[in-house]
Amino acid sequence: LKVIESAEPSIQAFLHISKDEALAQADAFDKKHASGDTEGLPELAGVPIAIKDMIVTKGIETTAASKILEGWVPPYDATVITKIKAAGMPILGKTNLDEFAQGSSTEHSAYTTTHNPWDTERVPGGSGGGSASAVASFEAPVALGTDTGGSIRQPGALTGTVGVKPTYGGVSRFGAIAMASSLDQIGPVSRTVLDAALLHELIGGYDEHDSTSIPKPLPSIVKAAREGQKMDLKGVKVGLIKEISGEGFQPGVQARFDEALKALQNMGAEVVEVSCPHLSYALGAYYIIMPSEVSSNLARYDGMRYGLRVMPPTGTDQTAANMMAATREAGFGDEVKRRIILGTYALSAGYYDAWYGSAQKVRTLIIRDYENAFKQCDVLVSPTSPSTAFKFGEKMDDPLTMYLEDVATIPANLAGVPAMSIPAGLSDDGLPVGFQFFAPQMRDDLMYKPAAALE
């Protein structure tokens, strides 16, 4: 809490600091510990954690960085929060994000701008820039994020932290505010691969409250990370995805990626080149499927059920429809409105097959690309992000350039496969670079071994 106090004026990672709750949770844990009642507690017991404000926390205001949820205090905990509390991990507060997790720089937050601790003139990436900056600036040892198209991994790359998107269905989404439900996953943010593994194992597993949760035990993630720390990768086959690297990637990013690949080889891994020809269409498919789901999920913010209600201007009809329109006009920011309009259009009668239907077919081809690729290797690799951290305002006027930030991260969400970004040194501009691993569905353990070896 002292580090938070001194770092926050320049970083602004948090939307809400839950000091009293954190101290009470720490006290309760201390008492339990003093009484010797520690049986069954995980290794992370007692370690404080920061939570992206896209995850609901009972009794602590949760806004998704949107004005439309201002003042909303959830009456329940997300499943991951229940697990974190049971582990005696004090919750430090709620971290900043792009409104409803839509963006790649955290500049679309309705409340504040989060700064990158490596250079406070630059963005921390997004949408989970708050969690990434909190961990990178030592305000929190670990944090949780949500990843729909890269929002854990890209901020990880830009802040030199570890960020993991688990297998779709491997971590419960119950209590994660829905952005695009077929793509959303909650995952860990940390400074080391082993910390991420410990947190992943803690929050993961089947949950009957999430209809897409996979009713199978998680693989031994922590064991795989510990195995990797021995830095022996004999027998591990690494697939280099031809389609995501080279052109369009900043030279310093590409250079660090190539060096990391060499390091994997030096530890005994075999590197093969694989082709995933449909990955080039992933960005296009994502920006149809994601807004379609956004337009449907965000229909619930109607001024009736949660947070903000704005009455229609005096002199106009005081109908429910006008109240909804006034609330949504005032409550949503530009980027969220842009996506609701895009999604509504893509799903509309007469256009559905041409847009949404085609995008779903591309998605199937991408899933098959991964299935084929994983016949040739254990893990796939690519750079996480095409560039290092950029300056505030640089991409705000041009949504398409902002969308390109996710070119390497989106395919994993479309295919439901796990992926993680780990730090791979600094680019020529002195800023962190991320190295990305992908693994087959429900084999999250496979990426933890080479990741732990490489870090």
Active site residues: 52, 127, 151
Q: Of 100-108, 241-249, 393-401, 423-431, which segment contacts ligand GLN by CB under 6 A? A: 100-108
Q: Which is nearer to ligand GLN, 184 or 378 (CB)?
A: 184
> What mask of x and - would describe binding to ligand GLN in positions 294 to 313, judged by CB under 6 A?
--------------------
| Residue choice 104, 133, 387, 421 for contact with ligand GLN (CB under 6 A) | 104
Contact between 125 and ligand GLN by CB under 6 A: the answer reads: no
Q: Which is nearer to ligand GLN, 64 or 87 (CB)?
A: 64
Strand partners, 330: none
The residues in 378-407 that bind ligand GLN, with binding defined as CB under 6 A, are: 406
- Cα-Cα-Cα-Cα dihedral of 226, 227, 230, 235, to 10°? -160
Q: Which is nearer to ligand GLN, 102 or 114 (CB)?
A: 102
| Residue choice 12, 25, 102, 385 for contact with ligand GLN (CB under 6 A) | 102
Q: Which is nearer to ligand GLN, 104 or 250 (CB)?
A: 104
Q: Of 101-109, 319-327, 382-390, 446-454, which segment contacts ligand GLN by CB under 6 A? A: 101-109
Contact between 282 and ligand GLN by CB under 6 A: the answer reads: no
Give the DSSP H/E element, type plus range, for residue 322: helix 320-331
Quote the least distance from Cβ 26 to ligand GLN, whole Å. 30
Quote the least distance from Cβ 81 to ligand GLN, whole Å. 19
Q: Name residues whose C-beta falls within 8 Å of residue 321's C-beta, 6 or more positions apart in sequence.
A: none
SS3 of 394, please?
Answer: coil
Contact between 415 and ligand GLN by CB under 6 A: the answer reads: no
Quote the least distance from Cβ 414 to ligand GLN, whole Å. 12
Whether 37 contacts 45, CB under 8 Å: no
> What token pair was written down for 214?
């996979």
Whether 92 contacts 49, CB under 8 Å: yes
Contact between 254 and ligand GLN by CB under 6 A: the answer reads: no
What pairing do the DSSP bridges indicate for beta strands 432-438 and 419-426?
Answer: antiparallel
Q: Of 79-87, 140-148, 233-241, 316-324, which segment contacts ligand GLN by CB under 6 A? A: 140-148
Strand partners, 95: 14, 52
Contact between 159 and ligand GLN by CB under 6 A: the answer reads: no
Closest CA relative to residue 229, chosen from 445, 1, 452, 404: 452
| Residue choice 179, 197, 260, 424 for contact with ligand GLN (CB under 6 A) | 179
Q: Which is nearer to ligand GLN, 126 or 434 (CB)?
A: 126
User: Count of H helices and E strands in the chain?
Assistant: 15, 11
| Residue choice 90, 103, 170, 432 for contact with ligand GLN (CB under 6 A) | 103
Q: Which is nearer to ligand GLN, 238 or 419 (CB)?
A: 419
Cβ-proximal residue to ligand GLN, closest one: 151
What ranges in 78-192 are assigned the alpha helix state H? Answer: 79-86, 129-136, 153-159
Helix axes 193-203, 79-86, angle to 10 degrees: 110
Q: Of 129-137, 141-149, 243-251, 350-358, which segment contacts ligand GLN by CB under 6 A? A: 141-149
What pairing do the DSSP bridges indicate for beta strands 142-147 and 185-190?
Answer: antiparallel
Q: Which is nearer to ligand GLN, 95 or 151 (CB)?
A: 151
Compute CA distances 375 → 130, 239, 245, 380, whole Å: 37, 10, 21, 11
Q: Which is nearer to ligand GLN, 179 or 379 (CB)?
A: 179
Whether 145 contacts 163, CB under 8 Å: yes
The residues in 58-87 that bind ligand GLN, with binding defined as CB under 6 A, are: none
| Residue choice 77, 99, 139, 147 for contact with ligand GLN (CB under 6 A) | 147
Count the site residues for ligand GLN by CB under 6 A: 15
Query: Up-side HSE of residue 49: CA atoms within 13 Å toward CB?
Result: 33
Residues for the chain: how many in total?
455
What ranges in 76-117 are assigned the alpha helix state H? Answer: 79-86
| Residue choice 124, 150, 187, 239 for contact with ligand GLN (CB under 6 A) | 150
Whether 418 contacts 444, CB under 8 Å: yes
Q: Name residues whose C-beta falls within 8 Å of residue 89's C-beta, 6 or more positions apart in sequence.
A: 25, 44, 45, 46, 47, 48, 49
Backbone dihedral region of 48: left (phi > 0), alpha (psi from -120 to 50 degrees) or beta?
Answer: beta
Contact between 156 and ligand GLN by CB under 6 A: the answer reads: no
Contact between 149 and ligand GLN by CB under 6 A: the answer reads: yes
Tell me which residues touch ligand GLN (CB under 6 A): 101-104, 126-127, 146-151, 179, 290, 406
